[in-house]
Amino acid sequence: MRIDAISIFPEYFGVLELSLLGRARARGLIDVQVHDLRDAAHDRHRTVDGTPAGGGAGMVMRPEPWGETLDAIMAESAAGETSDDGPIIIFPSPAGEVFTQAMARELAEERHLVFGCGRYEGIDQRVFDEYGDRARVRLVSLGDYVLNGGEVAAMAMIEAVCRLVPGVVGNPESLVEESHEDGLLEYPSYTKPADWRGRTIPPVLLGGNHGAVRDWRREQSIARTRRVRPELLPPDLRDE
Ligand code: ADE
């Protein structure tokens, strides 16, 4: 999978060198290219923002550096890609649709993702309109809160998507039993020692009865989901 990230703080993406994703990059499963938006700002101060048309607080990102950077990425990827199987351009934004595990699964099937990370009060609307005509564009929010910019949100999405790319996570079975994969929150996990500060492991987990373990884990998942995220419960598990 190819991933391009555009930002005025490319250093944010340095952590993609670490851990599972770093290994996946080294093994060629994921190709991440980070672009400094200011490389496409050609005045002396490398300006990327301006005051909002119509007035108001804050600054808005100008369209030209975005146009130049996105055009270069699109031109490079144009070989062999049409607007249907060309890149999906994702702009992290608190005004977007909410990112979910289902969206992560969908995006993990793609060949090429582009993350356009805005700062300030947002990006000039004409950028979304221009690339919406030429590619698949999505505004995506990490949740109902406001970050300083799209970088941290893009990092979270990149991690959630890349770990679903075949080969990135060594044991694919570990993906199956996670929170959200079956629509429920994950059950509690334990490991050695059997007694820690007087706190013991539930006996069912040490009894060797796999059926009983499976039933216990499912009950725990349902109880936890009912307690903290009741809106996630499938209809047949509600109102018990
Ligand atoms: N940029 C600022 N806040 C954000 C959020 N909640 N999700 C995605 N991008 C953002």
Nearest to 3 by CA among 180, 160, 126: 160
Nearest to 117 by CA among 52, 30, 34: 34
Closest C-alpha to ligand 1, atom 10: 93
What is the residue-level pLDDT of the chain in tens, covering all 240 positions?
Answer: 999 999 999 999 999 989 899 999 999 999 999 999 999 999 999 999 999 999 999 999 999 999 999 999 999 987 655 556 799 999 999 999 999 999 999 999 999 999 999 998 899 999 999 999 999 999 999 999 999 999 999 999 999 999 999 999 988 888 888 888 888 999 999 999 999 999 999 999 999 999 999 999 999 999 999 999 999 999 999 876
Q: How far is CA 125 from CA 119, 139, 183, in A?
A: 14, 12, 35
pTM of the model: 0.94
Cα distance between residue 36 and residue 30, in whole Å:
20
Pocket test for ligand 1, best of 100, 123, 142, 157 (most atoms within 8 A of CB): 142
Residues paired with 5 in a beta bridge: 34, 115
Residue 169, pLDDT score: 92
Taking CB atoms and a 6 Å cutoff, what residues make up the pocket around ligand 1? 92-94, 141-143, 145-147, 149-150, 153
Residue 229, pLDDT score: 97
Q: How far is CA 57 from CA 42, 54, 224, in A?
A: 25, 10, 43
Residue 78, pLDDT score: 74
Distance 142 CA to ligand 1 centre (A): 6
